[in-house]
Structure 1
Amino acid sequence: MVSQNGLGLDEVLLVPSASDVLPNTIDITTQIADQVTLSIPVIGSANYTTVSRAIEFAHEGTLAILPSSLASAENVAEIKAAGNENLAGAVVENVSDAGELVQAGVDILQLVVNDELVQNIKAIKSANESLPLWVGPTTDLAVAEQALVAGVDTIVVANVDNTPLTAPVTTVMAFAELAAKYDGNVILGSDVKYSGDVVKALAAGAVAVMVDEDIITDVIADNIFQISGGLRSGMGYTGSGDVPTLRRQAQFVQITAAGLTESHPHDVELTKNAPNYHQR
């Protein structure tokens, strides 16, 4: 397990860097698999996703992960039918759940951690070698390494019970370092409350983050628009023209609680509330 004596998203700021990139020229796409690129590195978490929400995420050029209770061929087909290029993902608990989803056109499978994890990974990959396979949620480095050795592509870092991580920045760093040894990726699966958290998670080594009602309110498209603006702003602040550059060169500095308050908007009069910021 990762040490709990690490850094949270609220305990760090990104170090500014000389920048010649303008926010509107920054590329915020992220490649999460050889043949899967997202328009924004933000994914709907399984604990938040419904079929309608998955369609909304897909319309924004990204995807949401159907929970196992909704992971059916019919629901994947409905997401695909709503748009020719729509991406669909689903949680599966064992090999027998995977076949029909693949036939329906699912783009991503997220496999839950259980006693048959390694066997399930090998079985799914042997039948669908090019299909991106994720494992999670997990915070166990040993489990993650077993999965990566078995052939999984991405580790979703989060607590199984959906409780917040104690040290998400440090945890993502540790998992990203491990995943890199096996050409794998890491996704932060929880704890994202602000667009700045997205920037920090990517800087720590994640290729994307998962979001839920902690940051998504009202119309998903409006929230994605706000997040993309915050992401571009943060990337420009570090001189990063694209997500790989941010992951490669960004640096953190630890801050105090007072510093956190200063880092958020204060002493200003808002003319219009942001869709997901006014309640913080």
Structure 2
Amino acid sequence: ITIKDIEKIRKFPNACKDSLGRLRVGAAVGILDREPRIEALLAAGADVICIDTSHGHSAGVIKAIKETKATFPNCELIAGNVATGEGAKALIDAGVDAVKVGVGPGSICTTRIVAGVGVPQMSAIRDVCKVAAKHGIPVIADGGVKYSGDIVKAIGCGASSIMIGGLFAGTEESPGETILFQGRSYKVYRGMGSLEAMKMGSRDRYYQDDIEAPHKLVPEGIEGRVPFRGSLSASILQLMGGLKAGMGYTGCRSIPELIEKARFVRITTAGLRESHVHDVIITKEAPNYWID
């Protein structure tokens, strides 16, 4: 252990590390040409592999899970995405170690409009968690997070962890190009289902790997811009602060306790309007709240 290690422990006490003190790393693969990729990723030290597709409750994904577990029995395996209890049960029976939930909740996803398929994220989390809890399988809520309060709600509904894209798309560390528009900085953000991403190689995630002509691709996402939000660490600080506040309000000291204690109340449109800032003009933006 060096002085630098001690400084990192002090600065990042909640960092997710392995037994050797290294940050844990996950990697995603598709169902095609996955074995050599998984082998290389595990050899490089990846802690977990995710078989990531837009439709996890499919014969191809279930077959891929079984084959991967047979070839790499010690591999921690996540698979998804699903949006129903039946889909979760199928993946669990195939041998996954965690299930990823979310069909269409992402800010840049158009699956529910283009394909007419999907389940509201909270309903999907609830249905999947009912099944997963019986088998002791953790659930990852993928998409639909706009505010830190959404993280509290997703975990309270049963999810063990959250996957975020849009909220981090505007940070310095994101790969999107920084652009200026009407005097303000933005970052380019595109979904994996966008036409440009499909052209670059994500088409197999949407089962269109056999389509070569770009004009024949059917995108399930868009490309846009999001406001520049500064450093990733600042965004995570706000999200973690919101989660801690939510846990404090509900009297919970741990994630499992929040899952157990959380209670949900149906509200009206008027109640939702009241929950947001109202009857005032915002003159100074907050780092954790904005209105479209």
Give me the TM-score of the superposition, normalised by structure 1: 0.64
In the superposition, relative to structure 1, how do residues 241 and 84 fare at CA in structure 2: closer, same or farther (>3 Å)?
closer
Out of 223, 245, 250, the position equivalent to 2:235 is 223
2:115 paired with 1:103: no
**Structure 1 residue 169: Cα displacement:** 1.7
Higher relative contact order (CA 8 A, sep 6+): 1
Large movers: runs of 4+ above 6 Å = 268-271
Instruction: Tell me if structure 2 keeps the 8 A contact 1:216–1:223.
Output: no
Q: Give the counterpart letter for 1:238 in structure 2.
A: T
Out of 23, 39, 54, the position equivalent to 1:86 is 23
Residue in 2 aligned with 1:253?
265
Distance in 1 (alpha carbons) for counterparts of 2:91 and 2:289? 37
Q: 1:46-81 CA deviation, whole Å, 9 max, x = no partner?
A: xxxxxxxxxxxx997259xxxxxxxxxxxxxxxx9x
SS at match of 1:201: helix
**Structure 1 residue 222: Cα displacement:** 0.6
The equivalences for 1:147-226 within 5 A come to 147-159=91-103, 162-163=109-110, 166-214=119-167, 217=170, 218=229, 219-226=231-238
Residue in 2 aligned with 1:243?
255
Residue in 1 aligned with 2:245?
233
Distance in 2 (alpha carbons) for counterparts of 1:270 and 1:60? 33
RMSD across aligned C-alpha pairs, in angstroms? 3.1
In the alignment, structure 1 segments of 5+ residues that lack a partner are: 1-57, 64-79
Distance in 2 (alpha carbons) for counterparts of 1:154 and 1:136? 9
In the alignment, structure 2 segments of 5+ residues that lack a partner are: 1-11, 113-117, 171-228
**Structure 1 residue 266: Cα displacement:** 4.2
Q: Give the counterpart letter for 1:173 in structure 2.
A: R
In the superposition, relative to structure 1, how do residues 62 and 190 fare at CA in structure 2: closer, same or farther (>3 Å)?
farther
Q: 1:22-55 CA deviation, whole Å, 9 max, x = no partner?
A: xxxxxxxxxxxxxxxxxxxxxxxxxxxxxxxxxx
Give me the TM-score of the superposition, normalised by structure 2: 0.62
Number of matched residues?
A: 206
Q: 1:169-226 CA deviation, whole Å, 9 max, x = no partner?
A: 2211110011122221111101000000000000000001111124663221111000
Distance in 2 (alpha carbons) for counterparts of 1:59 and 1:99? 31
Q: Give the counterpart letter for 1:92 in structure 2.
A: V
Instruction: Tell me if structure 2 keeps the 8 A contact 1:194–1:215.
Output: no
Q: Give the counterpart letter for 2:136 in structure 1.
A: D
Instruction: Tell me if structure 2 keeps the 8 A contact 1:111–1:133.
Output: yes
**Structure 1 residue 264: Cα displacement:** 2.7
Q: Give the counterpart letter for 1:177 in structure 2.
A: K
Greater Rg over alpha carbons, structure: 2
In the superposition, relative to structure 1, how do residues 138 and 88 fare at CA in structure 2: closer, same or farther (>3 Å)?
same
**Structure 1 residue 139: Cα displacement:** 1.8
Distance in 1 (alpha carbons) for counterparts of 2:246 and 2:169? 19
Residue in 1 aligned with 2:65?
121
Q: 1:73-93 CA deviation, whole Å, 9 max, x = no partner?
A: xxxxxxx9xx96222212112
